[in-house]
Chain A
Amino acid sequence: MAQPETVELAAVTKAYGDVVAVDRISLKIEAGQYCCLLGPSGCGKTSTLRMIAGHESISDGDILIGHRRINDIPPAKRGTAMMFQNYALFPHLDIAENVAFSLKMQGTGKAERRKRAMEMLDLVSMTEFADRKPNQLSGGQQQRVALARALMTRPSVLLLDEPLSALDPFLRVRMRGELRRIQRELGISFIHVTHSQEEAMALSDLVVVMNDAKIVQSGPAREVFNRPRTEFVARFMGGHNIMSEGGRTVTLRSDALQISRADGARRATVQEVEYRGPQVMVNLATDSGDEMSAIVSERTYFSDPVTPGDVVGLTWPADEVHELTAEP
């Protein structure tokens, strides 16, 4: 595989007429990092990825891979490879031919193509399907083939456009682990677009949260989760209560909120109780009208279960309160 390379975006903009899809974003992804572009649909994450891939022109700004400015370089010469959301396998070619497509374009001989395709299929454990057509494979299998085809070009950066969204939840978790393993083995950079914060946290070295064509926050998953900069990030990452306290907006992780029968800092009524296996989530409405939620470990909850309608006191350790540093 090729050397991993850094990817740097400098004030990159994408405009479709008057609509700005990506608004002057700047970002540096270190070589060999697993980066997730996270955000709701329409936030500009896919446009950003497609600009890096070269399937979308860059309206303004620069993209650098390593020390090369790649704005005007065709997709195949950028050192990137893209894995498409719907996999985009060639329906008229069998799996081995799909994987070896880039070699065929370079004019590599048939025997050599087959050999290299089999090596790549081995990496994704798909060798026994080499002679099938794409429509004879399941979604998960097609995805592995798409991954093998993308890796065939020996990219230094792999771009993945919502690769797991078409899979069922069980397979999604398994493929997630597999992507992470392959990224570690190859040591190249992965840039992965997703709208699932769970996926982003599970995979990333670097989480980049986007909203309204801009980057709202970027950093390691743990930092983004624990210290959201804006209300949007806190809501999007989930598991946070957003409260105003003395004129400031603060967040408090749901699992830091404690419920007791005694009085606490606030009084609230239990609205709904959701059992989640290891934890139980309790939705609450405070007397002041805020909605809050507490995540309690299953054992703690069942030692003194509350039911909807119960009035409880809420307490939390003062050092768990996090102040939002930037307002949207």
Chain B
Amino acid sequence: MSEATADGARRFFRRARAKSATGAEPGAGKALWQAAPMALVFFVFFLLPLAVTIIVSFWEFTQYSIEPALVFQNYTDVFSGCLEELPGLCVTLATYLSTLKFCFLVWLTTLLIGFTVAYFLAFHVRTLPVQVAFFLLCTIPFWTSIVIRMISWIPLLGRNGLVNGFLIDIGVTDTPLEWLLYSDFAVVLALTHLYALFMVVPIFNSMMRIDRSLIEAAADSGATGVQTLTSVIIPLAKPGIIIGSIFVITIVMGDFLTIGIMGGQQIASVGKTIQTQIQYLQFPIAAANAVLLLIAVTFAISALLKMVDIRREL
């Protein structure tokens, strides 16, 4: 946004605020009513389930019954054996560690791909119609359901899949590569494929706000292409990078479907633990796990938000 319009907008809001302050009562009441539908949706589909989850996480759970109560049993169960097994890892910590590992790997690959694609779209594609066309191309993975997208990896990566067939044909390998499917590699590949766009969009948005004359000014000051990238473009695209990271990290931390399917149901993740517990109707311990996951993700996001002024970006 140019300075002039930003100023204009600021003035406008100041005036709007001044107006609603003078005629406070009726204006404020109307505003509350206008916000009510959204607040209702928010309450029913977010606050209520969250409250129920937190409450259930303190209920008492035995092999055959679930009783309303206020016990910390579920939380201690989650971490059972963790102290005793030190320095080894208990199941919960190992699961969290595995989830964090995927988080980090997927974050890294989506960041590299997302930044490159956004850079290409923002600085090398000159016209808006072409930019729009390329964006549509990027959204193609979203045209089908998540499950179908993952299943379609199987004929490609399987033992007798296209990739293995091709590698054997050109003589790179004699026996099919086993690690292509149902492996860490497959999980990272599928997650990257699914979520790279969540990196592209916010980074592209940040890059489009970079004044092109800044890049000329850098060249004028003798900056090489790499120097312009590291000392002008990356710092100015940082808000987009962080917002994209928040998207990817939150999604991957809670994922169980992709890790389940692409990992051949053999790889642990926090989401998958919760899902399994729900399948066995162990609701209180699943709720306790969910609350812990929520706390972990909230910490990660608040740390990321410290690095960017999100209000300025919206």
Please name all residues of chain B whose beta carbon is closer than 8 Å to the beta carbon of A105 when the two chains form the complex: 218, 221-224, 227, 231
Contact assessment for B221 and A149 in the assembled complex, using a CB-CB cutoff below 8 Å: yes
**How far apart are the CA atoms of A149 and B217 in the complex, in Å?**
10
- Count residues of A near B (Cβ-Cβ below 8 Å): 27
User: Does B63 interact with chain A (Cβ within 8 Å)?
Assistant: no
With A55-B216, A84-B216, A90-B217 known to touch, is A102 a contact of B222 (CB < 8 Å)? yes
Contact stretch, chosen from A74-82, A109-117, A122-130, A233-241: A74-82
* Interface size range of chain B in the complex: 10 to 19
Contact assessment for B214 and A153 in the assembled complex, using a CB-CB cutoff below 8 Å: no
With A90-B232, A91-B236, A92-B235 known to touch, is A102 a contact of B221 (CB < 8 Å)? yes
**How far apart are the CA atoms of A115 and B236 in the complex, in Å?**
26
Please name all residues of chain B whose beta carbon is closer than 8 Å to the beta carbon of A75 when the two chains form the complex: 216, 219-220
Please name all residues of chain A whose beta carbon is closer than 8 Å to the beta carbon of B219 when the two chains form the complex: 54-55, 74-76
Interface residues of B in 199-255 (CB under 8 A from A): 211, 213-214, 216-224, 227, 231-232, 235-236
Please name all residues of chain A whose beta carbon is closer than 8 Å to the beta carbon of B220 when the two chains form the complex: 53, 55, 75-76, 80-82, 150, 153
**How far apart are the CA atoms of A86 and B224 in the complex, in Å?**
22
Interface residues of A in 90-144 (CB under 8 A from B): 90-92, 101-102, 104-106
User: Does A2 interact with chain B (Cβ within 8 Å)?
Assistant: no
The residue on B at minimum CB distance from A84 is B213
* Nearest CB of B to A199, in Å: 21
Please name all residues of chain A whose beta carbon is closer than 8 Å to the beta carbon of B222 when the two chains form the complex: 76-77, 102, 105-106, 153
**How far apart are the CA atoms of A106 and B227 in the complex, in Å?**
10
**How far apart are the CA atoms of A241 and B216 in the complex, in Å?**
43
User: Does A88 interact with chain B (Cβ within 8 Å)?
Assistant: yes
* Nearest CB of B to A155, in Å: 9
Contact assessment for A88 and B221 in the assembled complex, using a CB-CB cutoff below 8 Å: no
A-B interface contact total, Cβ < 8 Å: 63
The residue on A at minimum CB distance from B4 is A166
A46-83 to B contact mask, C-beta < 8 Å, 1/0? 00000001110000000000000000001111001110
**How far apart are the CA atoms of A84 and B219 in the complex, in Å?**
13
Contact assessment for A88 and B216 in the assembled complex, using a CB-CB cutoff below 8 Å: yes
* Nearest CB of A to B16, in Å: 23
Please name all residues of chain A whose beta carbon is closer than 8 Å to the beta carbon of B232 when the two chains form the complex: 90
**How far apart are the CA atoms of A229 and B227 in the complex, in Å?**
48
Please name all residues of chain B whose beta carbon is closer than 8 Å to the beta carbon of A55 when the two chains form the complex: 216, 219-220
The residue on A at minimum CB distance from B211 is A88
**How far apart are the CA atoms of A77 and B220 in the complex, in Å?**
9
* Nearest CB of B to A207, in Å: 25
With A55-B216, A88-B214 known to touch, is A153 a contact of B221 (CB < 8 Å)? yes
* Nearest CB of B to A143, in Å: 13
**How far apart are the CA atoms of A149 and B216 in the complex, in Å?**
13
* Most interface-central of B217, B219, B231, B235 (chain A CB within 10 A): B217
* Nearest CB of A to B234, in Å: 10
The residue on A at minimum CB distance from B216 is A55
The residue on B at minimum CB distance from A155 is B220
* Nearest CB of B to A282, in Å: 37
* Nearest CB of B to A85, in Å: 8
Which single member of B217, B224, B236 contacts A82 (CB below 8 Å)? B217
Contact assessment for B218 and A101 in the assembled complex, using a CB-CB cutoff below 8 Å: yes
The residue on A at minimum CB distance from B234 is A92
* Nearest CB of B to A87, in Å: 9
Interface residues of A in 8-67 (CB under 8 A from B): 53-55
The residue on A at minimum CB distance from B238 is A92
**How far apart are the CA atoms of A315 and B6 in the complex, in Å?**
54
Contact assessment for B216 and A82 in the assembled complex, using a CB-CB cutoff below 8 Å: yes
Contact assessment for B217 and A92 in the assembled complex, using a CB-CB cutoff below 8 Å: no
Contact assessment for A104 and B211 in the assembled complex, using a CB-CB cutoff below 8 Å: no
Please name all residues of chain A whose beta carbon is closer than 8 Å to the beta carbon of B217 when the two chains form the complex: 82, 84, 88-90, 101, 149
With A92-B236, A104-B231, A105-B227 known to touch, is A76 a contact of B216 (CB < 8 Å)? no
Selected A-B contacts with CB under 8 Å, 15 pairs: A53-B216, A55-B216, A75-B216, A75-B219, A76-B220, A84-B213, A89-B217, A90-B214, A92-B236, A101-B217, A101-B218, A102-B222, A105-B218, A105-B222, A105-B231
Residues of A participating in the B interface, judged by any CB pair closer than 8 Å: 53-55, 74-77, 80-82, 84-86, 88-92, 101-102, 104-106, 149-150, 152-153
13 new A-B contacts, CB < 8 A, other than A84-B217, A89-B217, are: A55-B219, A75-B216, A75-B220, A88-B217, A90-B218, A101-B217, A101-B223, A105-B224, A149-B217, A149-B221, A150-B220, A152-B221, A153-B220
